[in-house]
Amino acid sequence: MMPGNSPSPFDSYDQPGEDAEALRRSIVNHLVYTVAKDQYAATDRDFFHALVLAVRDRLIERWMETMRRYYERDAKRVYYLSMEFLIGRSLTNNLLNTGMLEACRTALATLGLDYERLAGQETEAALGNGGLGRLAACIIDGMATLGLPGYGYGIRYEYGMFYQRIEHGFQVEYLEHWLRYGNPWEVARPELLFPVKFGGAVTAYRDRDGRQRFDWRASEQVMAMAYDTPIPATAPRPSTTCASGPPRRRASWT
């Protein structure tokens, strides 16, 4: 609830706890109602998605509280633009940053599931290929931990660098379709859709006043849709920390 506003029915909802039993219930709920499978039909990837969605629920609550605080204080924000964000695998990092790793292990053990096995299902986000991307990821992690209001903006690449296999003693490269099974950490924003133009040619002409003008006619146009990913802060007392840090907004090219 924003300061000065009267109580709203939206202020009352099921706030997810961070103890092992609350996490267990969330994992099972997401398995049944989001993934739409039971324990008999579910694969390791299904269990992984249910686990990530349970963790993401807790990140989103912190994230929304952080965003409300930005608006309440009319805080100035940092907008960090980078072509790459090499964040690596997010599950263990997010659980460590929020202090929920051991509770998560316990919840999974109660369900007869092994944390390491499920964590191995995560595909590394292929959002770059070099040091620039790793530096960008460190910067937004630092922004979150220091409580600096801000966003990271980049591109949601559909394919990574490449996927390699050794066949008959030789390296063979394939497309790395890292989004094949979806990315449960991100939140799609289909209302944020923008045309982006490429190629074409520039034509020079003079207007009615004799001034030279230039007209660019693009040869290709794609639509870019935004996706948000919350980045949790590292804190000595994460259970009492509300700041989740900046979401990273990326454009998906279609």
Residue 4 belongs to a domain: no
- pTM score, two decimals? 0.84
Query: Is residue 108 situated within a structural domain?
Result: yes
**Which domain CATH number covers 149?**
3.40.50.2000
Write out 94-145 in H/E/C secondary structure.
HHHHHCCHHHHHHHHHHCCCCHHHHHCCCCCCCCCCCHHHHHHHHHHHHHHH
* pLDDT, position 4: 57
Residue range of the domain that includes 175: 15-253
Residue 249 lies in a domain: yes
Whether residue 177 is contained in a domain is answered as yes
How much is the pLDDT for 243? 33
In a domain, 8, yes or no: no
Amino acid at position 161, single letter? M
pLDDT score at 245: 39
Q: How many domains does the chain have?
A: 1
Residue 133 and residue 84 in contact, taking contact as beta carbons nearer than 8 Å: yes
Domain annotation covers residue 65: yes
- What's residue 233's pLDDT? 84
The Cβ of residue 149 has, within 10 Å, a number of other Cβ atoms equal to 18
Q: How far is CA 140 from the centre of its chain?
A: 12
Residue 1's pLDDT is 53
In 3D space, the residue among 176, 123, 129 whose CA is nearest the CA of residue 154 turns out to be 129
Look at residue 9 and tell me if it is in a domain.
Answer: no
Let me know if residue 5 belongs to a domain: no
CA proximity to 158, closest of 180, 133, 185: 180
Block means of pLDDT (10 residues each) for the chain, 254 residues, are 68 86 97 97 98 95 86 90 89 93 97 97 83 87 87 86 86 87 92 90 93 92 89 57 40 47
